[in-house]
Amino acid sequence: MSDTAVTMHDIVKTYRETGRCANDHVDLTVGRGEILCLAGENGAGKTTLMKVLYGMEKPESGTITVMGKRVKIDSPLDANRLGIGMVHQHFMLVDEYTVAQNVILGREPMHNRFTIDADAAKRLVDEVIHAHGFSIDPSARVGSLTVGQKQQVEIVKMLYRDVDILILDEPTAVLTEQETASLFGTLRTLRDTGKSLILITHKLHEIKAISDRVAIMRQGRMVGHYETASVDERELAGLMMGKSFSPAIGKTPYGRKQETVLRFAQVSVVRRNQGRPMLKDVSFVARTGEILGFAGVGGNGLGELESVLAGTLPISGGTITHRGQDISKSDAHRLRERGLAYVPSDRLKVGSALEASVSENLIIAARKRFSRHGMMRGKHIMQHARTLIDTYSVQGTADMPIGTLSGGNIQKVILAREIAQYRDYIVFSEPTWGLDIASSKFVHTQMIALRDAGASVLLLSSNLDEILSLSDRVLIFSRGSIVAELEGERLHTVTKEEMGAYMLGMHVREAAHE
């Protein structure tokens, strides 16, 4: 019996809808008790390959060997039976159900022949949770969890099905530093117990940090498998992009005089049916020509802050002013008219209408400009779309439904739209979630360009590297209120560990000392 857990050979998968070849004669091998990173640009075919292995997509040709045995995997059930589990890029969870319910779904512990044994379910799930040092309550409603916690639920779901081979599709994309760290801890212990893991990620340092080997895909093909130790980040980047590529971005300190654009004063948000305020006495100013970063662990109010900035969540107290005018009661409609530009964190559910064409998605906020006497000006709209598609090198055409683009390209479209329509301030929330290094770099350079053009840029991100490398000033959120503000020198000297401490609300004691 060999020491490879999985061998995929000569896999070919073409999507009927798009007629696009997502996997073009791909080979993949995963050793036992190893962590393999699967990397590659957006749309390279990573998820597709994993779906094939998990029995969710049928390949036209190719063979799969698991634990030395040729196998046919027609459904996730087969995969589970073979000890293969997958954590999906987009959560596969029922928000209305509890953690326990989500975990046992499809493999319910029975009380008798008919009834689910709810207690056993809680107990079993709790065991899995503790065995791997997770921090979620089995009886909590998944809908109320943060992205990070949802991630954990997904993993627990698979561990509950005691799989030996675990696929994680971009698990860290939506996680904060701390969450990622603890996740990696878990993954290592899993590996040490002899499980094999396939981890998809776009973050080079994560590949270096966690993986034993790395497999790299490009445009549907497998570039190759490499010992992680034998390649450095620059080489990795090169392999992924097919050309030499440096993720570093040049950022010059900003000089020009700054004026206040946005001012929050004692803003708080309280929902009727829950006691603890989701935002509490939040006060800050955002100025022209600076990138203002907001850091916080999931569940600490960044989501609400985002919604408030977007005008989709009314505030319970305090005032917000834009250029001196009170906009506390303004809804999204008003704010847009005042020139709000905003790249939402949830680009699929909020940032785009997937069935609508790219051109239609591009004018949502600027539709007035493209209509005369209430009639849309088709030619201008098309023209506008083509120019943006070219300048942002989006892979797609103006009248394709945007839903058929890859994640990276959808984000480019949104970016293009918002940058095209911004006037004096622009909000970015989690702008590089799930983007490959090239796209991420692209986004970051755009943000800096905006700042240098005198924009006031607000960056909400759970990615500390992003925050620290881009922001001129950082506000740290914990439990819905600002616990620290970092600027200038402090911003360069602060360590991630300190940041983490702040985010967990440590400042209180610190303040007491001074």
Partner 1 sequence: MNDRMDRRWKRFLGVPRSALGSLVILFIALAAVFLLSFLLSKTPARTLRYFFIGPLQNTYYLGNMLNTSIPLIFSALGVSLAMRAGSFNLGGEGQLYGGAFIATVSAVAMAGWGIAGVICAIVLGAVTGGVMAAFSGYLRMKWQTNELITTFLLSNAVSLVVGYLIAGPFMDPATNLIATRKIPESFRFSRILEPSNLSSALVMALVMTVVVHLYLYRTKSGYELRMYGLNPRFARYGGINSGSYLVLPMFLSGALYGLGGAMAIFGTYYACMKDFSVGMGWNALAVALIARFRPVAIIPAALFFAYIESGARNAMLHSDVTFEIASIVQSVVFFLVTSSVLQRIGTKRERG
Partner 2 sequence: MNALLHSAVAIMTPLLLAAMGGLFTELSGMLNIALEGLMLMGAFSSIVFTYLSGSMIWGVLLGIVATMLLATLLAVVTLNLKSNVFITGLATNLLASGLTIVLSFRLFGNKGVVVFDRIGSLPRWDIPLVSDIPVLGAMISGHSPFVYLSWVLLALSSWVLYKTPFGLRLRAAGLHEKTLVSLGLSPSAYRFIAFLVSAFACAIAGAVLTLNLGAFVPNITSGKGWIALVVIFLGQKKPLGLLGASLVFGFADAFSNYAQGAWNVPADFILAIPYLFTLLAMVIVSIHADWKERIKR
* Contact residues: Mg ion, CB under 5 A: 47, 89
Binding of ligand ATP at residue 411 (CB under 6 A)?
no
Least distance (Å) between residue 347 CB and partner 2:
18
Q: CB neighbours (10 Å) of residue 107?
A: 12
Residue with Cβ nearer Mg ion (64 or 200): 200
Residue 198: closest CA among 5, 406, 485: 5
**Interface pattern 365-384 for partner 1 (x via CB under 8 A):** x-xx--x--xxx-x---x--
With CB atoms as reference, the residue minimizing the distance to ligand ATP is: 303
Q: Quick check: 397 binds partner 1 (CB under 8 A)? A: yes
**Is the CB of 277 or the CB of 289 nearer to ligand ATP?**
277
For partner 2, which is the closer residue by CB, 80 or 228? 80
| Contact present, 360 and 353 (Cβ < 8 Å) | yes
97 to 136: interface string for partner 2, x by CB under 8 A? x---xx--xx-x-x---xxx--------------------
Q: In angstroms, rounded to a whole number, what is the distance separating the alpha carbons of residues 509 and 347?
A: 38
Distance of CA 226 to the CA centre of its chain: 26
Residues 6+ away with beta carbon under 8 Å from 131: 159
x-or-dash string of contact with partner 1, 101-140, rule CB under 8 A: ----------------------------------------
Plot region of 40 (φ>0 → left; ψ -120 to 50 → alpha; else → beta): left
Structure tokens at 503: 């985010």
Nearer to ligand ATP, 17 or 514 (CB): 17
Kind of pairing, strands 84-87 and 61-66?
unpaired
Contact between 303 and ligand ATP per CB under 6 A: yes
Smaller CB distance to ligand ATP: residue 240 or 455? 240
Q: Give the interface size with ligand ATP as a residue count (CB under 6 A).
A: 32
State the residue for tokens 């498998």.
225
Helix axes 407-421, 378-391, angle to 10 degrees: 120
User: Which residues 85-124 are close enough to bind ligand ATP by CB under 6 A?
Assistant: 89, 91
Of 171, 289, 311, 407, which lies in the binding site for ligand ATP, with binding defined by CB under 6 A? 407
The region that residue 68 occupies, defined by phi over 0 for left and psi between -120 and 50 for alpha, beta otherwise, is left
For the bound state, the minimum distance from the C-beta of residue 40 to ligand ATP, rounded and expressed in Å, comes to 6
Rounded to 5°, the CA angle 156-162-165 comes to 95
360 touches partner 1 (CB under 8 A):
yes
Amino acid at 117: D
SS3 120: helix
Considering the complex, state which of residue 349 and residue 373 has its C-beta at the smaller distance from Mg ion.
Answer: 349
* 277: contact with ligand ATP by CB under 6 A: no
Q: How many CB atoms lie within 10 A of CB 150?
A: 20
Does 316 interact with partner 2 (rule: CB under 8 A)? yes
Helix axes 496-503, 177-192, angle to 10 degrees: 110
Is the Cβ–Cβ distance between 402 and 357 less than 8 Å? yes
Provide the mask over 254-283, with x wherever binding to partner 1 is found by CB under 8 A and - wherever it is not: ------------------------------
The answer to whether residues 270 and 315 touch, using CB atoms and an 8 Å cutoff, is: no
Candidate segments 30-38, 92-100, 338-346, 428-436, binder of partner 2 by CB under 8 A: 92-100
Looking at 2, 18, 75, 246, which residue binds ligand ATP (CB under 6 A)?
18
Region binding ligand ATP by CB under 6 A among candidate stretches 185-193, 301-309, 379-387, 467-475: 301-309
251 contributes a contact to partner 1 by CB under 8 A: no
The one of ligand ATP, Mg ion, partner 2, none whose footprint includes residue 378, by CB under 5 to 8 A per kind, is none
Is 92 or 382 the residue whose CB approaches partner 1 more closely? Answer: 382
Q: Binding of ligand ATP at residue 301 (CB under 6 A)?
A: yes
Closest by CA position to 144, among listed 307, 346, 302, 299 = 299
71 binds partner 2, rule: CB under 8 A: no
In degrees and rounded to multiples of 5, residue 144 shows phi and psi of -90, 0
State how beta strands 317-322 and 473-478 pair: unpaired
363: buried, middle or exposed (CB in 10 Å: 19+, 13-18, 0-12)?
A: buried
Part in contact with partner 1 (CB under 8 A); list of ranges 73-81, 118-126, 222-230, 351-359: 351-359
Which backbone phi and psi does 458 adopt, to 5 degrees? -110, 125
Structural tokens at position 363: 């004018």
Strand locations in 430-480 (E): 456-461, 473-478
Which positions lie near partner 1, rule CB under 8 A? 310, 312, 332-337, 340, 342, 344, 349-356, 360, 364-365, 367-368, 371, 374-376, 378, 382, 386, 397-400
Please give the residue ranges that form the binding site for partner 2 (CB under 8 A): 55-56, 75-80, 86, 88, 92-97, 101-102, 105-106, 108, 110, 114-116, 269-273, 313-316
